Every structure is written in C-alpha cells, then in structure tokens.
Amino acid sequence: MPFITEEIYRARYSGAEKVKSIHISRWPEFDKSLKNTKTEKIGDRVISIIQEVRKFKTLNKKSLKEEIFIKLEKQDYNLLKDVMGDLKSVTNAKNISVADKFELSF
C-alpha cells in the first residue's frame, strides 16, 4: 500500500501541495465545521443495532443471512428514518417497525 499511495499522491496532490512525497507532507488537520453531531448519533445507533442483530443471530445459531424482524422504539425509528434502507439491507431485516421497546425476532 505505501507504494501505490505514494504514486497516487505524486500524480494527484504533489503539485498543489508543493511537497515531493506524501511521507514529508503535513498531516491533515481536522475541520471542526464539518462535524455533524446528528449524523454521528445516527451512525452510532446504527452500529449498535447491527451489533445487537449479529449477537442475536449468533446466540440463536442462525446465519447472518437469515431474515429478521426488528422493532424499534419510536425515537430510534424517527432518528433512523433516512438510513432505514441501509439498516434493513445490512441486517437482512424483513421488516422494521415501531414498538414500545427494542425487539428482535425471526
């Protein structure tokens, strides 16, 4: 990877940055204006649900490809509405619905 990374850097960025090699270029600095706490919250919750689904399937000796039904609390359902298709796809959920509490079933 270091060789291809160096080639890409030289071809694409070295002229603009006026540095001969990626190995002596400045480390990128974090741009605080790009931080989006809502997106981070959504991502953290999606990861948490995926972990729960995988754990549930493993404990029940099911394949990760097994279809599952997911019930989300209303606040989670509303938070994740924009990424519901992704969550459904990653977890292989047949249906994701609203309920009083988080629940998984086959």
SS3 27: coil
Question: Apex CA 48: angle with CA 101 and CA 81, to 5°?
Answer: 65
Helices in 18-100 by DSSP H: which ranges?
A: 37-59, 74-79, 84-91
User: Within a 10 A sphere around the Cβ of 101, how many other Cβ atoms?
Assistant: 7
Interval 47-76: pLDDT, tens: 999 999 999 999 999 999 999 999 999 999
Domain positions in the chain are: 38-105
Say what the pLDDT of residue 82 is.
Answer: 96
Q: How high is the pLDDT of residue 78?
A: 97
DSSP state of 18: T
Helix (H, G, I), strand (E, B) or coil at 26: coil
C-alpha 26/C-alpha 47 separation (Å) is: 32
* H/E run at residue 73: strand 68-73
> Is the pLDDT higher at 19 or at 82?
82
> What is the pLDDT at residue 24?
82
